A = this chain, B = another copy of it.
Amino acid sequence: MIRVAIIGATGYTAYEAIQILLRHPYAEATYLTARGDKCGPVANIFPSLTDRLSLDLEPLDLGRLSERADVAFCCLPHKESMSVVPQLLDAGLKVVDLSADYRLHDVKLYESVYDVPHTDAGNLSNAAFGLPELFRDQIKGASLVANPGCYPTAASLALAPLLKEKLISSNDIVVNAVSGVSGAGRKPKQVFHFPEMNQNYFAYGVGTHRHQPEIEQILSDASGEPVEILFQPHVLNIDRGISESIYAKPTREISQASLNDLYQEVYADEPFVRLFTSPPLLKDVACTNFCDICPMVVKDKIVLFSNIDNLIKGASGQAIQNMNLVCELSETSGLL
């Protein structure tokens, strides 16, 4: 069995990773870390794990870590993550980092977007970008994988086929996204207090969301030309799930039939991409690692619908998928 450590195991992504590992045939959670005040039985923090997982949350101890784990999921907030990841690597573990710290290749870009100096530029340049459908080969041999953001996963899987084929203009794309509230993390906030968020919906991060440059980087890397998007996220009153409605301009006449053929061809062998001919229901990807995509020709535009569970394909499910690749397990282990 692959032994998995989860660093910073008190948030939603850690919880989802634990849940998946409980069903994983070849991997198991063996070491969970938290800040001192949260230490103790993991079921104290996540009562739903009562009688299911008897591990304690412990302060991070690199010695213990290297004895008890082969792979680490780093679930710390960005900025914290890059101070810990090098130690995890030095301790001899393979690392999947779920923060944003190793996603943007360009240190300057990272520093302007996250407004802190990057303290681990060396590993930044070695990190594989953990979106298997686009960068599987990089991931296989990697010792550090930067797990993608939730919004970028849905947007990139939907747009990459068109941009690779230069079928849409690369600088006139609108990504209108909605996300469940778990995407904002587990820390209570006024706006997410139940009586305020319930039956509510609103846009945020107008022109400033940090996933915009991440999406642009992924798609530029995938298509080989600079891509620019307008990304507008919204939050709606559901726990989990991201749905993106994407509007693009064809560079030439394209029929619905050939659009369908393109996506069928590109994603024929991908276990976690499903194609639909009408807009998929967000509920149908809840608690799964699927990305459901529906490409349509509408008037003079191409409209793409792309749905994921932000906590699974948008975070911990994809982290497991990356771990499976890194550890040479079957890519779908624990995920179907």
Contacts and interface: CB of A to CB of B under 8 A. Distances in A.
Interface in A155-208: 174, 176, 178, 180-182, 186-190, 192-204, 206-207
User: For A190, A195, A241, which residue has the most chain B Cβ atoms within 10 angstroms?
Assistant: A195
Contacts of A151: none
Interface string A234-278: 101111110101010000000000000000000000000010101
B238 A288 contact: no
A230 B188 CA distance: 32
Contacts of A192: 188, 193-195
Contacts of A296: 206-207
A283 B207 contact: no
A134 interface: no
Interface stretch (A76-84, A103-111, A219-227, A299-307): A299-307
B274 A50 contact: yes
Contacts of A189: 188, 193
Given A188-B189, A279-B204, A199 B286 contact: yes
A48 interface: yes
Copies in the complex: 4
A64 interface: no
A336 B49 CA distance: 11
B239 A195 contact: yes
Interface in A301-323: 301, 303, 305
A252 to B, nearest CB: 18
B186 A188 contact: no
B181 A305 contact: no
A108 B320 CA distance: 55
A2 interface: no
A3 to B, nearest CB: 20
Contact of A239 (B180, B198, B284): B198
